[in-house]
């Protein structure tokens, strides 16, 4: 497995591309960057985008979901609540954030908690981590955890938006993420990378 990333300045959002280095088939995680930038990243790495994985439903992580699917034919992958939320403007905040509503969109593939998406030599495990939203999930691929807005470097996702809940977020982080090996690398939806071990000691919001 190899991966690349791009950063979208207007929303400070990280979009990731995970792919098999032999077949060059891959998955985009959180297409919150411009579609053309995502396609350029894929072209630079010679990757064919087969899946679009969403960690949660907020506009700054799904902005290019629909056009990217139209261009590539990739399948949208979420957890169960994600499929309900990504097409609901009252929850995905697309009108508020983008000035237009993304609605009526459903997932092509719904992963259960702990279920793996496997293609070629890549295995991506879906870990349900509600709290920032009720549809939050993280994706574990080897030693790399793509955690959306659940956990950040020395911080965590806010819980005051629709379907957010601090107690649920704390439980998700402590029981689902802090039990992973300390050397697990965190790749968040915003900001720099970190590790599980570092966050257990130094996270301002939630310590182990």
Q: How confident is the model at residue 207 (pLDDT cuts 50, 70, 90)?
A: confident
Here the CATH number for the domain that contains residue 86 is 3.60.15.10
Segment 167-184, tens digit of pLDDT: 999 999 999 999 999 999
Residue 104 lies in a domain: yes
Q: In angstroms, rounded to a whole number, what is the distance separating the alpha carbons of residues 155 and 42?
A: 30
Q: Residue 28 falls within a domain, yes or no?
A: yes
Domain-embedded: residue 65: yes
Report pLDDT digits (tens) over 146-155.
999 999 999 9
Residue 208 lies in a domain: no
153 in Cβ contact with 201 (< 8 Å): no
- What is the chain's mean pLDDT, rounded? 97
What is the per-residue pLDDT for 98?
Answer: 96
Q: pTM (2 decimals)?
A: 0.97
Instruction: Work out the angle between the directed axes of helices 35-45 and 65-72 (0-180°, nearest 10).
Output: 50
Please report whether residue 59 resides in a domain: yes
Q: What is the pLDDT of residue 61?
A: 98
Using pLDDT thresholds of 50, 70 and 90, give the confidence band for residue 125.
very high
Please report whether residue 173 resides in a domain.
yes
φ/ψ of residue 85, rounded to 5: -90, -30
pLDDT digits (tens, 9 = 90+) for 106-116: 999 999 999 99
**In this structure, are residues 113 and 161 in contact, taking their beta carbons and an 8 Å threshold?**
no
pLDDT band for position 143 (50/70/90)?
very high
- Where in the sequence is the domain holding 140, given as residue range(s)? 2-202
What pLDDT is recorded for position 89?
97
pLDDT in tens, 43-61: 999 999 999 999 999 999 9
In a domain, 136, yes or no: yes
**Domain count for the chain:** 1
Residue pair 132/159 in contact by the 8 Å Cβ criterion: yes
In a domain, 207, yes or no: no
Q: What is the CA radius of gyration of the chain?
A: 16
In this prediction, residue 182 carries a pLDDT of 98
């Amino acid at each position: 497995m190899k991966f690349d990333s791009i950063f979208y300045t207007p929303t400070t959002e990280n979009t990731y591309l995970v792919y098999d280095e032999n077949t060059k088939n891959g998955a985009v995680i959180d297409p919150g960057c411009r579609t053309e930038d995502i396609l350029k990243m894929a072209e630079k790495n010679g990757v064919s985008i087969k899946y679009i994985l969403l960690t949660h439903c907020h506009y700054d992580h799904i902005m290019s979901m629909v056009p990217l699917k139209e261009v590539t034919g990739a399948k949208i992958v979420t957890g169960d609540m994600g499929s309900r939320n990504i097409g609901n403007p009252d929850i995905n905040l697309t009108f508020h954030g983008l000035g237009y509503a993304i609605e009526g969109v459903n997932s092509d593939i719904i992963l259960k908690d702990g279920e793996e998406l496997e293609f070629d030599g890549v295995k991506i495990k879906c870990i349900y981590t509600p709290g920032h939203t009720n549809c939050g999930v993280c994706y574990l691929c080897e030693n790399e955890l793509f955690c959306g807005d659940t956990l950040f470097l020395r911080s965590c996702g806010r819980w005051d938006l629709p379907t957010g809940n601090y107690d649920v977020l704390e439980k998700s982080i402590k029981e689902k993420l802090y039990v992973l090996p300390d050397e697990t690398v965190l790749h968040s939806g915003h900001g720099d990378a970190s590790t599980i071990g570092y966050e257990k000691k130094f996270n301002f919001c939630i310590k182990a």
